[in-house]
Homo-oligomer: A and B are copies of this chain.
Amino acid sequence: MAAFAPLALAESQTDNPTMLHTIDVDLHHQIANWQNIAPYAPAGLRHRLARPGGPPLARHGFKMVGPQFGAAPRPIDANGNIGNPAADPAWVKAEYLDKRGVDLAILTGPLLSLGVQPNQDMAAAIATAINDWTLATWVRPFRCFKGSILVAHQDPAQAVAEIDRLGDDPGMVQVLIGSASETPLGRRQFHPIYEACVRNHLPLALHIGGEGAGMSPPSTAVGHPTTYFEWYASLPQVYMAHIMSMVTEGVFEKFPTLKVILYEGGIFWLPHIMWRFDKNWKAQRSETPWVKEPPSAYILRHFYHTTYPLEQSSPSELSELLEMVEGQRTLLFASNYPNWELGDPFEMIEGLPKELRRRVLAENAHALYGERLLHSHAH
């Protein structure tokens, strides 16, 4: 276990966007070469990870369109070739974090479809390898990076073991699951995962991206979308389904300290979910007597949301919505680095009410993740 040395956040934060003191909860570090990951896998599976192009992973047919990486910086070598802007931690620190005034970034990696891979042992081995590689090459050498314990939730027992294996490492600040899933996340088989999160004092992060791949049902409730544009716009629907499943199955009555972060889903759908759900609850709760409070109470207490991408609205509409969803407490700054196709994540939050900026940029994340976020974790 590493020594605990608090990392000071600057006392006087400023509104100058070039000098923000900021916690970015969503930095997608990339795997430039799977041969670097393979040594962290069990001996019997190493050769599968080390294949050119990486291990055999089911993919969906939706590939990002739009200007690749948008305004994100990118490395250019001596021959003018453009490299991956999220593959080298030292470069990411120098060219993104330091230049944008980001103090800390939580790593969310490249593998958002792990939970819908049919080969569950392979998926669990990949999770373990990526976690150890992340700790060794990103988190231990750089105090500005914190890790997520990636797990493959389709085999809850292996996921629980992985959470317990790394749960007291101060370099890890949350458990990460892809929101793509064969079954809704409220189902009983997943409760041991939530128990492990609570036992290890870790929030649970869900991230969209694997929907429609592998064992996932079609990525909408009426079948497969046609284009990336349609697919991407539909993704927050999986969060709605997971929220309803987790609330109706009583997850938050069983695990009252569990916190869940929903990445890249926006916020404007929350009032609908909360208030349709409350209304239904009045008439229909006989079926789920363990749901003791109106669903909106669980949703406001247990779920957090991220800024990339915030829906494109007027500042006054945004203010109204933020009030409805208690955004002053539940909204976290997320850059989604290096995937800035939808715009610069700092410009994206310019419409936020001024009094919320500090909270969204750093204080809400600090309150959620706690002291672990500020502890030194270098060995």
- Does A244 sit within 8 A of B, measured CB to CB? yes
Task: Please indicate the chain B residues that have their CB under 8 angstroms from the CB of A312 in the complex.
Answer: 275-276, 278-279, 282
Option from B224, B226, B284, B343 in Cβ contact (under 8 Å) with A248: B226
- Number of A interface residues, CB 8 Å? 77
Shortest beta-carbon distance from A276 to chain B in Å:
5
Which A residues between 185 and 218 are near B, CB-CB below 8 angstroms?
185-187, 211, 216-218
Q: Are B221 and A237 in contact, CB atoms less than 8 angstroms apart?
A: yes
A271:B233 contact, CB within 8 angstroms: no
Q: Which of A260-308 contact B (CB under 8 A)?
A: 266-269, 271-288, 291, 295
Give Cα distance in the complex from A226 to B248, angstroms.
9
Given contacts A268-B272, A269-B272, A311-B276, contact A223 B217 (CB under 8 A): yes
Q: Tell me how many chains of this kind the complex includes.
A: 2
Is A255 an interface position by the 8 A CB rule? no
Q: Pick from A179, A226, A342 the residue with the most CB of B within 10 Å.
A: A226
User: A236 within 8 Å of B by Cβ?
Assistant: yes
- Given that A220-B241, A237-B220 are known contacts, is A280 also in contact with B211, CB under 8 Å in the complex? no
Within 8 A of B (CB), among A342-369: 342-343
Chain B residues, CB < 8 A from A273: 233, 269
Q: How far is the CA of A185 from the CA of B187 in the complex (A)?
A: 30
Closest to A218 in B: B217
**Residues of B close to A278: CB separation below 8 A:** 311-312
What residues on B are CB-neighbors of A275 within 8 Å?
A: 268, 311-313
Residue of B with least CB distance to A223? B183
**A342 touching B279 by the CB < 8 A rule?**
yes
Q: Is the CB of B343 within 8 A of A226?
A: no
A residues contacting B by CB (< 8 A) are: 65-67, 70, 179-187, 211, 216-230, 232-234, 236-238, 240-242, 244-245, 248-249, 266-269, 271-288, 291, 295, 309, 311-313, 317, 320-321, 324, 341-343
Known: A221-B234, A230-B249, A283-B341. 5 other contacts (CB 8 A): A221-B221, A221-B238, A233-B248, A268-B275, A317-B324
